[in-house]
Each structure stands twice: as C-alpha cells, then as structure tokens.
Amino acid sequence: MPEPAAPGAALVPLPDLDADGRAAFTHDGREYAVFTLDGQVVVTDGACPHKGGPLAEGLVKDGAVRCPWHWYTFDLVTGACRNAQAPALRRHEVLDVDGRPHARVVPPATVSLAERLRAHARGED
C-alpha cells in the first residue's frame, strides 16, 4: 500500500460515483469533491477557494467546475480559476490501492496572518 506523501496526508477510499461520475466525501472534518473528466477521476477540495462554496454541487462544463455561490470557475486539470483572481483549487492525487481508487488527501498548509495579508495586497484572494 502506498504511503501518504506529506505530513498529515491520508489515503482515503473514494465513494461510489453517481450516474454523472461525481461524488463527495468528508475526511478529518474537511469536504472533498470527486468529478470525472474525460474518464479520469479528479478529486478536489470540496470548499471553494473563494468563500467556501460547495463545489460538489457546481456545474461541470468544458473541463471546469463552476461554484454555485459566485460562479468562479476552476479548471479541473490545473485548479486555476478561469474567470477571477482567486487562489487555485487544490487537487488531490488519485491512485489505485488493491484495485480500488483512493485519494491522497493533504490538509492545507497553515498560513499566517502576514502571509494572508500579503496575498490580499497582491490581489490573490
């Protein structure tokens, strides 16, 4: 079985996907969203990087998910926001463990207030 790669990382078995190839799950108090893009399973944070909207409920179109709260649109391949200045959507590696897909979920790094203020001054939030 592969080892978690980063401190705090965990291998989490993915739930069954719905008819649209989507799912959501919670691990260690955090939400995650699962999408299918061109036959590949993509796992992202479930909370939108903008203000925490529920991305698992977002519209998936043209390789991106649109948050239902303010319509920021995140590329599912790169995580980059396509239509606003926003932090990238965090993606999580998907790997096969004993024939079952798992996500290697990594908690976000703790960011100091000073780092958040600098990012805000750069227009990144």
Site residues for ligand FES per CB under 6 A: 48, 50-53, 67, 69-70, 72
Q: Tell me the DSSP string of 20-66.
A: TS-EEEEETTEEEEEEEETTEEEEEESB-TTT--BGGGSEEETTEEE
Identity of the residue, 57 or 93, whose beta carbon is nearer to ligand FES in the bound complex: 57
Identity of the residue, 22 or 50, whose beta carbon is nearer to ligand FES in the bound complex: 50
Identity of the residue, 4 or 52, whose beta carbon is nearer to ligand FES in the bound complex: 52
**Contact in structure between 22 and 56 (CB atoms under 8 Å):** yes
Least distance (Å) between residue 66 CB and ligand FES: 8
